[in-house]
Amino acid sequence: MESSVLTTVLLPVALGVIMLGLGLSLTLADFARVVRYPRPVIVGLSCQMILLPAACLLIAEAFGLPPELAVGLMLLAASPGGVTANLFSHLARGDVALNITLTAVNSVLSLFSLPIIVNLAMAHFMGDEQSIPLQLDKVVQVFAIVLVPVGIGMGLRARWPGLAQHLDRPVKALSAVFLILVVAASIFQERHNVVGFIQQVGLAALAFNLVSLLVGYVMPRLARVERRQAIAIGMEIGIHNGTLAIAIASSPLLLNNSVMAIPAAVYSVLMFFTAAGFGVLVNRRQ
């Protein structure tokens, strides 16, 4: 994919703003909470790191996705939850503090798990010759676009909490705008093929979304995690950071493949409806 305003300007800025917003909502206590509540965190991370990639692989195979779309769906599965999960968890009466903790820990762990999962997916779907070595500079680039803005946001909150509080709402609003722009731009860039891509990957993305929500809620309940925490884990796992997946797929410095961004773009639209339905369903059962 050739460099464009989308890949060189919009994607880095969008991801930086969204990750800055995440950092403004985090404190060191969110990481320390892992020690206080280990069971829900361990269950949530196990679902995210192990069950979801396995389920995504089966879904990609079952729907017979073309190689690039299959890798794009696996990239989405390897991406951590986003700040949108916190909002939906709050609306569904989940444990938002647990969401914040899972997002914080997932964002760090994904620096290592995401390149591994994507590389294995490329080797499986596209052949060993298409896989990319796990180069240190690629890991550093993902680190820079994910954790540096988060660190800045956390630093602002720790040093100037009043300023962080004032920035929180406009940054979240700007993040939502950027998310819409990134999804729209990714689809526009593949506009000549997008209808076919959506037909090919739409049902698979929907199936993966529903499986993510189901696994995120049912597995914790089977592990005797209390209901509010299970709702939080369901939202965290069911609402992936689609912007991060799109950025990694589209960036000329990383995968440089706009087709691989299509599953995340489609998923980012579908997840708002499925997450809302999930929230209504789990509260109606209660």
**Contact criterion met (CB below 8 Å) for 121 and 132:** no
Model pLDDT, residue 210: 93
Asked if the model's pLDDT at residue 1 lies above 50, the reply is no
Q: How does DSSP classify residue 160?
A: -
What are the angstrom distances between the C-alpha of 74 and each of 68, 123, 163, 182, 256? 10, 12, 38, 19, 16
Residue type for position 45: L
Q: How far apart are CA 263 and CA 279, in angstroms?
A: 23
% residues pLDDT > 70 (the chain):
77
- Give the structural domain span for 255: 5-285
The average pLDDT across 220-238 equals 89
Return mean pLDDT, the chain: 78
Cβ neighbourhood burial of 150 (10 Å; 0-12, 13-18, 19+): buried
Model pLDDT, residue 15: 67
Q: For residue 170, report the phi and psi dihedrals to the nearest 5 degrees.
A: -65, -35
Give the pLDDT confidence of 163-173 residue by residue, as tens digits.
Answer: 777 777 777 77
pTM of the predicted protein model: 0.75
Model pLDDT, residue 5: 54
**Contact criterion met (CB below 8 Å) for 202 and 266:** yes
Is the torsion defined by CA of 215, 112, 249, 176 positive or negative? positive
Residue type for position 20: L
The widest CA-to-CA distance across the chain, in whole angstroms, is 52
Contacting residues for 233 by C-beta, under 8 A, at least 6 apart: 40, 43, 44, 47, 98, 102, 216, 217, 220, 225
Cβ neighbourhood burial of 27 (10 Å; 0-12, 13-18, 19+): middle
Give the pLDDT confidence of 155-210 residue by residue, as tens digits.
Answer: 888 788 887 777 777 777 776 676 677 667 666 665 666 677 777 888 999 999 99
Give the pLDDT confidence of 34-45 residue by residue, as tens digits.
Answer: 677 788 888 988
Which one is predicted more confidently, 33 or 101?
A: 101
Number of domains observed in the structure of the chain = 1
Asked if the model's pLDDT at residue 8 lies above 60, the reply is no
% residues pLDDT > 90 (the chain):
14
Q: How far apart are CA 13 and CA 6, in angstroms?
A: 10
Give the pLDDT confidence of 101-149 residue by residue, as tens digits.
Answer: 887 788 778 777 888 888 888 888 887 655 554 455 555 665 666 677 7
Which one is predicted more confidently, 131 or 62?
A: 62
List the CATH number of the domain containing 127: 1.20.1530.20
Taking the alpha carbons at both ends of the chain, their separation in whole angstroms is: 48
The average pLDDT across 67-76 equals 91
Asked if the model's pLDDT at residue 223 lies above 70, the reply is yes
Number of Cβ within a 10 Å radius of residue 253: 17
**Contact criterion met (CB below 8 Å) for 117 and 77:** yes
